[in-house]
Structure 1
Amino acid sequence: MKARIEEDKVLLGSEGYALYEQSGFGRPQKDGLRLSPVEALYLVYRGRIEIPGYDFDTLLVRFSDNAHMIRSFLVYRDIRERGYVVQTGPHDFRVFKRGEKPGKGESQYMVRVLSERDLIDFSVVQGEVRTTLNMRKQHVLAVVDDEFEITYYEVKLQKLPGLEVTPDPKPAPGLLSSISVIINAGADLGYDQAFYGKRLDDSRIVLSTVEAAYLIEQGLVTIQLGEATLTAEEYCARIQDSDPELDKKITVYRYLRELQYIPKTGYKFGHHFRVYSGRKIHSEMLVQAIGPLETLPMNSISRSVRMAHSVKKKMLFAGIHDEGIVFTEFARIKL
């Protein structure tokens, strides 16, 4: 079956309709079938069509203005050979349920192709996920590494439900040691029950800087400096140089506490927080705070997902936006 190239499109005559009817290739037109470049590459690669003057190698070069072409071809081939029908758009690919095809079924996945070094703009990803959800599909990233291996990630937006309200601890006096805050709090004040800080002895608890900032802000911890009471803003100014990520961490910490979750440091897991739902023994989520306009390379996200998976937790990125905080979950999947 012979095809021809017109600009960035590959066209087949009316005999091409069979490729669409049988296997969902291309888009039918009045006088034949229009193939996308990646579909044409695959069909030439498999020897199902011929394009005069081109073999697979020269056709790949012909379409190499698209820097993603080799990655797109590899992902397209992989998904096709897993038994799915694939069409281009509205992201990179639309993947139908196994055994289904255009006109005779519905798509299941919307797939975006990335390299391991692509920067992830969370506002862009969140917008694409919302579009996918509005179409009632699953949003998938197909990430091609530098050795051209493919890893698939499902991306979801998570709305954390509020938990049962628990009483706040009672106010406690504190003292400032450099940037550390130690409070005088016996067991009756409720700090142990609310999982704040680490107990030094029966009467003292040392707080993390984020916990201290939050509790001072809430008026639950007071620190006297001479005749003045230290404000949350003054405390944050003191510790800012030691923690340049403080502002975004406090923003996410405050949000989680208001929903009655228990965030504790996630240092051992390489992230900002490990998060408990109520009084459960093990944390269920790792959370990384992402500031406005902040991006992360995909290989960094991959490391985060692998770590979370290894300790049986969800990996959430808490994006801070003008309209609030949006939690984005990345998880490896097998198609």
Structure 2
Amino acid sequence: MKARRDGTTVVLGKDGHALYDQSGYGRKTDEGLTLSPEEALYLVLKNKITVAGESFESLISEFSSRPGFMRRFLVYRDMRERGYVILPGPQDFRVFRRGERPGTGRTNFLIRVLSERDLITFRDLAGEVESAVHMRKQFVLAAVDDEDELTYYDVKTDLLKETGPAPEIPKVTAIRAGNSVITQDTEAFPDSLWFGTKLDTAHLMLSPMETLYLLDTGCLTLAGDENGEVIRNDIPKEDAEWKEKSQVYRYLRSQGHVPRTAYKFGHHFRVYSGEKKHSELLVHALPPNASLPMSVISRSVRLAHSVRKKMLFACAEQNGIEFVEFARIKL
């Protein structure tokens, strides 16, 4: 089929309608079929159409001068090669269920394309994910690395499900040991509560996050610092991330989850649900409006997958905790 360029698009005559009807290419008009640059370049590459006065090389040279075009084209080509019908959408693309096309099916994925160095602003990303959910679509990030390889991520913002009410904790007294505290009330913390680290049978050391949580819930009294004001002022001096970590820790405990340090995994918390013996989640606490490079997120997701855990980033917003989950997927 022969086509012509019309600015940023490529236009076919009415004979192009067959491409739409059979394979879901382009947008039908009374005059013919209008193709996006990604669609046109793919069809030229596959020798399905020719464009007057243009070659594949001239078209790719022209189109690739636009920011992000090559990344979008690589994702478009990959989806087509996998048998999906893919069209420009509210993010970068909308993708139909395999075997379906416009007029006979509905879109299943919304895809946002980005590079390995792009910054992810979690608040903005959460908004896009929630918008996709309202449209009953799955939100997918397609990351293109410097060697033009593609990795797809399923992104969700579901709040953690409550595993049960937070267990009651009796009041205990303790003494300070740096920014941790030590209590002799070891019987107040049975193994099921999973607080602290035993020094011996008579002494239990509580971490700074545990200490702040127990102070906030009124369950802990410190000798010489009854209201905990001194230790509350001292903990931030050693931990610049204490505020968001403390908010996330408190929320997880309130939902019946047990957060423990995930230092060996490079994150803030490994999280146990209910009475399970193995942690299911890695959670990293972030301040409001936080951003991270996609490369950092990729490393975190790969590590979490290797130890059979889900990877969640928790943004401590004023109106609550916004959890964003990333998982590698094969489409």
TM-score category of the 2 structures, normalised to the smaller one: over 0.9
Task: Give the CA deviation at 1:256.
Answer: 0.7
Corresponding letter in the other structure for 2:109:
Y
Paired with 1:73 and 1:48, the residues of 2 have a C-alpha distance of: 17
Task: Give the CA deviation at 1:168.
Answer: 2.3
Which residue of the partner structure matches residue 61 of structure 2? 61
Which residue of the partner structure matches residue 157 of structure 2? 157
Which residue of the partner structure matches residue 220 of structure 2? 221
Paired with 2:165 and 2:134, the residues of 1 have a C-alpha distance of: 32
Alignment of 1:82-97 (within 5 A): 82-97=82-97
User: If the length of structure 1 is used for normalisation, what is the TM-score?
Assistant: 0.95
Which residue of the partner structure matches residue 245 of structure 1? 241
Task: Give the CA deviation at 1:236.
Answer: 2.7
| Residue pair 2:189, 2:195 contacting (<8 A) in 1 also | no
Task: Give the CA deviation at 1:238.
Answer: 0.4
Which residue of the partner structure matches residue 20 of structure 1? 20
Corresponding letter in the other structure for 1:229:
E
| Residue pair 1:84, 1:99 contacting (<8 A) in 2 also | yes
- Tell me the SS of whatever aligns to 1:95: strand
Cα separation, partners in 2 of 1:174 and 1:191, compared to 1, 3 Å: farther
User: If the length of structure 2 is used for normalisation, what is the TM-score?
Assistant: 0.96
Deviations 1:77-97 (A, max 9, x none): 111001111111121111111
Task: Give the CA deviation at 1:164.
Answer: 2.2
Which residue of the partner structure matches residue 306 of structure 2? 310
Which residue of the partner structure matches residue 202 of structure 2? 203
Q: Which runs of 5+ in 1 are unaligned?
A: none
Task: Give the CA deviation at 1:163.
Answer: 2.2
Q: Are residue 284 (structure 1) and residue 280 (structure 2) matched?
A: yes
Which residue of the partner structure matches residue 105 of structure 1? 105
- Tell me the SS of whatever aligns to 2:148: coil
Q: Which runs of 5+ in 2 are unaligned?
A: none
Paired with 1:311 and 1:39, the residues of 2 have a C-alpha distance of: 40
| Residue pair 2:5, 2:52 contacting (<8 A) in 1 also | no
Alignment length (residue pairs) = 331
Task: Give the CA deviation at 1:5.
Answer: 1.7
| Residue pair 1:169, 1:191 contacting (<8 A) in 2 also | no
Paired with 1:180 and 1:191, the residues of 2 have a C-alpha distance of: 19
Counting aligned pairs with the same residue, the percent is 50
Which residue of the partner structure matches residue 43 of structure 2? 43
Paired with 2:100 and 2:167, the residues of 1 have a C-alpha distance of: 53
Q: Paired residue for 2:324, among 312, 328, 331?
A: 328
Paired with 1:130 and 1:164, the residues of 2 have a C-alpha distance of: 26
Paired with 2:133 and 2:164, the residues of 1 have a C-alpha distance of: 28
Alignment of 1:129-208 (within 5 A): 129-187=129-187, 189-208=188-207
- Tell me the SS of whatever aligns to 2:157: strand
| Residue pair 2:167, 2:256 contacting (<8 A) in 1 also | no
Q: Paired residue for 2:231, among 235, 260, 271?
A: 235
* Stretch deviating more after TM superposition (245-254 or 8-17): 8-17
| Residue pair 2:166, 2:253 contacting (<8 A) in 1 also | no
Task: Give the CA deviation at 1:120.
Answer: 0.5
Task: Give the CA deviation at 1:224.
Answer: 2.3
- Tell me the SS of whatever aligns to 2:170: coil
* Stretch deviating more after TM superposition (178-187 or 254-263): 178-187
Paired with 1:142 and 1:156, the residues of 2 have a C-alpha distance of: 14
Paired with 2:64 and 2:129, the residues of 1 have a C-alpha distance of: 28
Corresponding letter in the other structure for 2:159:
K
| Residue pair 2:196, 2:207 contacting (<8 A) in 1 also | yes
Paired with 1:72 and 1:173, the residues of 2 have a C-alpha distance of: 60
Cα separation, partners in 2 of 1:334 and 1:223, compared to 1, 3 Å: same
Task: Give the CA deviation at 1:167.
Answer: 3.3
- Tell me the SS of whatever aligns to 1:272: strand
Task: Give the CA deviation at 1:191.
Answer: 4.8
Q: Are residue 264 (structure 1) and residue 265 (structure 2) matched?
A: no
Paired with 2:167 and 2:104, the residues of 1 have a C-alpha distance of: 56
Task: Give the CA deviation at 1:178.
Answer: 2.1
Task: Give the CA deviation at 1:53.
Answer: 2.5
Paired with 1:16 and 1:27, the residues of 2 have a C-alpha distance of: 10
Task: Give the CA deviation at 1:122.
Answer: 0.9
| Residue pair 1:183, 1:221 contacting (<8 A) in 2 also | no
- Tell me the SS of whatever aligns to 2:136: coil
